[in-house]
Amino acid sequence: MTSSDRPVRLTVNGTAHALRLPASTPLLPVLRNDLGLNGPKFGCGLGECGSCAVLVDDRPARACVLHLGDVAGCRIVTLDGLGTADAMHPVQAAFVAAAGAQCGYCLNGMIMTTVALLEATPDPSEAEIREALRFNLCRCGTHVEIVAAVQLAAERLAAARIAAARPSPSPDAEASP
């Protein structure tokens, strides 16, 4: 039995997949070509630019340098799995609101890295934001807007956490004279 006879199992954007491909198959073309997910982009192919970033078990990773065998059994989230145009993830919405992109090629990596950052550090300083994003290359020079987008996302997520923690008024309280 060869390695391609045994399926590689992974979960992408909440959907389980059993792929009959060699474990040495690069993840990025599988995501884009086999699964039809266009969020991760092919940039450098060396894991240097961040355009191909995905979350693997909630940690940012470069899909161009990962192989199926590296992520077998893992949960993978791509930009396509965060939200939709009608129901954006708060980080996606903040990037739109803050105009955090020009050409958009780096956007995938910036957003995926930001999601991981805000999960680990809900209220990051500007220095922590810049440190987290330092390996995501943006050739257009929108770094100021990107940092503003991350700060806006952090503020919005904090407000949502506070709102969710508040007890809702009971329906009987409103009905009282």
Query: What stretches of the chain adopt beta strand conformation (E)?
Result: 8-12, 15-19, 53-56, 59-62, 75-77
For the chain, give the number of residues.
Answer: 177
Burial environment of residue 42 by CB neighbours within 10 A (0 to 12, 13 to 18, 19 or more): middle
Q: What is the pTM of this model?
A: 0.88
Query: What are the pLDDT digits (tens) for 139-175?
Result: 888 889 999 999 999 999 999 999 999 887 766 655 5
Query: What are the pLDDT digits (tens) for 79-137?
Result: 999 999 899 999 999 999 999 988 889 999 999 999 999 999 999 999 999 999 999 99
Query: What pLDDT does residue 61 have?
Result: 97
Query: What are the pLDDT digits (tens) for 45-75?
Result: 999 999 999 999 999 999 999 999 999 999 9
Query: What pLDDT does residue 166 have?
Result: 86
Does position 3 have pLDDT exceeding 80, yes or no?
Answer: no
User: How far is residue 35's CA from residue 49's CA, in Å, rounded to a whole number?
Assistant: 22
